[in-house]
Homo-oligomer: A and B are copies of this chain.
Amino acid sequence: MDKPRRPLFAVTLARGALRQTPPRQQVLEVFASHPERLPVAEVHARLRDPRINLASVYRAIHRFCSLGILVTAGHVPAGQTYELSDDYRAHHHHLICERCGTVTDIEECRLKPVERRIRRQTGFHVRRHDLRFYGVCPTCAAR
């Protein structure tokens, strides 16, 4: 049902004719070891080598986005966040608490039939989707 998870990043990089450099390598390591929405500054902070420049992180992330390895995880007040694409982690959606800002992942997704219907009815070929639920988390509701 689900498409097979992609192999090593190295393979993908090679496929994309990208040079494997320490900055790119380490940016991928961060996302792989911490597969959640991350703002660029935090990716930078988690790099093994702290001398790597912020600009390089931006450039690497942009490159990975255009290769489909990363996707933007949408807006947060202080800058854009990114996460691994569905090819590299399980497809999921976000529950976003409007009070505390906490983001929780949920696995359930029944949109495939909807995507097919859209294609039939509008001719638009859906390749991916992004679904977020906003509301109040149990913790905030309790207090």
A residues apposed to B, CB below 8 Å: 72, 74-75, 80, 95, 97-98, 104, 106, 108, 110-111, 114-115, 117-118, 122-138, 141
Taking a contact as CB atoms under 8 Å apart, the answer to whether A123 and B138 are in contact is yes
Q: When A and B form their complex, which 3 residue pairs have the shortest distance between CB atoms, in order from nearest?
A: A123-B138, A126-B135, A127-B135
In the complex, residue of chain B having the shortest beta-carbon distance to the beta carbon of A113: B110
Taking a contact as CB atoms under 8 Å apart, the answer to whether B106 and A110 are in contact is no
A128: which B residues are within 8 A, CB to CB? 133-135
Among A75, A104, A137, residue most surrounded by chain B Cβ atoms (within 10 Å): A75
Taking a contact as CB atoms under 8 Å apart, the answer to whether B108 and A136 are in contact is no
Pairs A–B under 8 Å by Cβ, sample size 25: A75-B75, A95-B118, A95-B122, A95-B124, A108-B118, A111-B131, A115-B133, A123-B137, A123-B141, A124-B135, A124-B136, A124-B138, A125-B136, A125-B137, A126-B133, A126-B134, A126-B135, A127-B136, A128-B133, A128-B134, A128-B135, A129-B133, A129-B134, A130-B130, A130-B134
